[in-house]
Amino acid sequence: MSGTVSSTNNASAAAGTAATRLGADLNTFLTMLTTQLQNQDPTNPLDTNQMTNQLVQFASVEQQIAMNQNLGSLISLQQSSQLTAAAPLIGRRIEVTSDQVALQNGSAEVRLPAAGTARSAEIVVTNASGAVVRRQTVTLGGDATSWTWDGKNTAGATQPDGAYRIQVSGRDANGTAVAVSHTVRGTLTGAQRTDDGLTLSMGALSLGFDALRSIVPES
């Protein structure tokens, strides 16, 4: 089984930075409050209501610091848990929602739903430059349908492995355009923690962990 699983401390670092910034603000607030108390006019002391309001603000800032620290810890633990859960899946075929498909070892798979109002679906594959490399019409039946791209363009030339954008449009029995959902399948090759959360890799295609829909059973 090959692949990569990596982790960063970006979430914790971000929470630490926020806490440091809030801590600096809190220290500034305390300094100002202390200075105000030390230099108040004995004949006209600080109003009790103002003192209460400032103490409430102090407590609020302190709670916000603690909340940010706890939230950062929870996010880090959640991402670590997701990363641990993804590790055994490296090398397995997975099904995800994406408007791109991963061409891996000269093959890519698009899953189409069972026919509803749509009777056919046109799949258009484009490269990074936006040029159409393959166009295929697939007949939809009573069960979910798989379309496997052999990695060749319309002229029969083999395309390099990588991430390709796909567009799927359905047609009903009268040829009228109707919406058709789709998913894509590929081999999971890596999992990484990033600023945006856990990212899964299928070759050159990167996706958020929430795009995962199923683990394809091993045949």
Q: Angle CA(100)–CA(103)–CA(108) in degrees, nearest 5?
A: 85
Q: How many CA atoms lie within 13 A of 20 on its CB side?
A: 6
Stretch 130-153: mean pLDDT: 94
**Helix or strand or coil: residue 108?**
strand
47 pLDDT tier (thresholds 50, 70, 90): low
pLDDT > 60? residue 104: yes
Q: For residues 115 and 123, which has the higher predicted lDDT (pLDDT)?
A: 123
**Helix or strand or coil: residue 144?**
coil
pLDDT > 60? residue 113: yes
Rounded Cα distance, 102 and 111, in Å: 13
Of 197, 208, 202, residue with least CA distance to 110? 202
The answer to whether the CB of 12 falls within 8 A of the CB of 80 is no
pLDDT > 90? residue 106: yes
The pLDDT mean for the chain works out to 81
Instruction: Work out the number of other CB atoms within 10 angstroms of the CB of residue 37.
Output: 12
1 pLDDT tier (thresholds 50, 70, 90): very low
pLDDT in tens, 156-169: 999 999 999 999 99
150 pLDDT tier (thresholds 50, 70, 90): very high
Residue with tokens 């990363």: 83
87 pLDDT tier (thresholds 50, 70, 90): confident
25 pLDDT tier (thresholds 50, 70, 90): low
Stretch 20-39: mean pLDDT: 67
CATH topology of domain 93-215: Immunoglobulin-like (2.60.40)
The answer to whether the CB of 187 falls within 8 A of the CB of 180 is no
Model pLDDT, residue 152: 96
pLDDT in tens, 168-206: 999 998 989 999 999 999 999 998 877 777 889 999 999
Domain chopping of the chain, boundaries: 4-89, 93-215
For residue 200, which amino acid is it? L
**Helix or strand or coil: residue 36?**
helix
pTM value?
0.65
135 pLDDT tier (thresholds 50, 70, 90): very high
